[in-house]
Amino acid sequence: MDIKNHKKKIVEQFSKQASGYTAITSHSDALDKLISLSSASKSDSVLDIACGSGIVSCEFAKYTKHVTGIDMTQGMLDEARKLQTKLNLANVTWQIGDVESLPYKDNSFSIVISRFGFHHFLNPFKVLSEMKRVCKPEGKVLVVDVSLPDTKIKKYNEMEKNRDYSHVTALSLTEFSNLFEKVGFKCLNTDFYSMQIGLKEQLKASFPKDANALKSMIIADLGVNDLGINVSKLNDEYFLHYPVHIFSAKN
Ligand SMILES: C[S@@+](CC[C@H](N)C(=O)[O-])C[C@H]1O[C@@H](n2cnc3c(N)ncnc32)[C@H](O)[C@@H]1O
């Protein structure tokens, strides 16, 4: 894939998603789990990779000394600033940039985290290597993203590429595990939560190529689960349950 074109797609897509992103309630699920898995404390300086509208950055800022959030979409960083102001947090810095090449020295942060970014990266190896490089020895690296068994990836990607044309690929559990090993992490801890979102809410916040096809694909997966998101139905509403995995490793 053409790198320049892909990055253009990311900025286009997230400039559109920016204004509604923070309001999606499930985007604030399980933040306490991330804080606890990272053992965040007031002595930590944190880097949030592809921080978007700053939901994770601002949560970490409540428990740590300082957080830097980096993202390539200005519209998302504008939303992040709004959230920071709303929460009255003084210890956050926002930076525009491409996370494939981080503008920080080696060993700069004690916690380096990325949530919901890896499925957008053309080169996840490069990004995780950069996360490792800027993390202090004994610091923690956390990657949070939807991850599925290998058999579900193809169909899931089909759905997500329709919903969000900047989606590259979800990584399977095996792929994430291999990636951490290849980058040089010795021991990987894996945790999980299910992120539920109503189909109507999801469609309202998305910019699909073909909304009808997307809706039909999801509805047809009820009781089948080829997509790996355990579609359920309550009254007249359909719900998606994204399997979110948290991969954490000591540097
Ligand atoms: C789904 S959002 C996730 C935002 C945030 N991390 C969260 O968990 O709410 C993905 C973000 O990744 C950013 N992004 C994707 N590729 C990037 C790259 N190569 N460099 C910097 N940001 C990138 C997009 O701009 C977008 O804000």
Backbone angles phi, psi at 149, to 5 degrees: -60, 150
Q: Is the pLDDT of residue 120 over 70?
A: yes
Q: pLDDT at position 2, please?
A: 87
Q: How far apart are CA 59 and CA 36, in angstroms?
A: 12
Annotated domain spans of the chain: 3-157+164-192+244-250
What is the torsion angle, in degrees rounded to the nearest 10, for the CA atoms of residue 202, residue 203, residue 205 and residue 211? 140
Looking at ligand 1, which residue's alpha carbon is closest to its atom 27?
Answer: 52
For domain 3-157+164-192+244-250, give its CATH number from 1.10.10.60, 3.40.50.150, 3.40.718.10, 3.20.20.80: 3.40.50.150
Cβ(113) to ligand 1 under 6 A? no
Measure 223 CA to ligand 1 centroid, in angstroms. 32
∠ Cα 143 81 114 (to 5°): 5
Q: pLDDT at position 3, please?
A: 87
Measure 19 CA to ligand 1 centroid, in angstroms. 14
Q: pLDDT at position 64, please?
A: 98
Residue with tokens 């010795």: 186
Nearest Cα neighbor of 238 from 195, 196, 198, 194 is 198
Measure 11 CA to ligand 1 centroid, in angstroms. 9
Q: Is the pLDDT of residue 1 over 70?
A: no
Q: How far apart are CA 78 and CA 80, in angstroms?
A: 5
Cβ(49) to ligand 1 under 6 A? no
Q: How far apart are CA 94 and CA 105, in angstroms?
A: 17
List pLDDT tens digits, range 20-79: 999 999 999 999 999 999 999 999 999 999 999 999 999 999 999 999 999 999 999 999
Mutate to test the pocket of ligand 1, among 19, 27, 28, 73 (most ligand atoms within 8 A of CB): 73
Query: How are the residues of the chain apportioned to helix, strand and coil, as percentages rounded to the nearest 5?
Result: 45, 25, 30
Structure tokens at 96: 């525009």
List pLDDT tens digits, range 209-238: 999 999 999 999 999 999 999 999 999 999
Looking at ligand 1, which residue's alpha carbon is closest to its atom 25?
Answer: 73
Q: How far apart are CA 196 and CA 177, in angstroms?
A: 24
Residue 121 amino acid letter: F
List pLDDT tens digits, range 134-191: 999 999 999 999 999 999 999 999 999 999 999 999 999 999 999 999 999 999 999 9
Atom of ligand 1 minimally distant from the CA of 51:
6
Cβ(115) to ligand 1 under 6 A? yes
Nearest Cα neighbor of 195 from 34, 74, 40, 83 is 34
Under DSSP, is residue 190 helix (H, G, I), strand (E, B) or coil?
A: strand
Cβ(77) to ligand 1 under 6 A? no
Other beta carbons within 10 Å of 8: 12
List pLDDT tens digits, range 76-94: 999 999 999 999 999 999 9
Measure 228 CA to ligand 1 centroid, in angstroms. 23
Atom of ligand 1 minimally distant from the CA of 100:
19
Strand residue runs (E) in 88-210: 92-96, 109-115, 135-148, 171-172, 188-198
Q: How far apart are CA 125 and CA 182, in angstroms?
A: 8
Atom of ligand 1 minimally distant from the CA of 114:
6
Measure 192 CA to ligand 1 centroid, in angstroms. 20
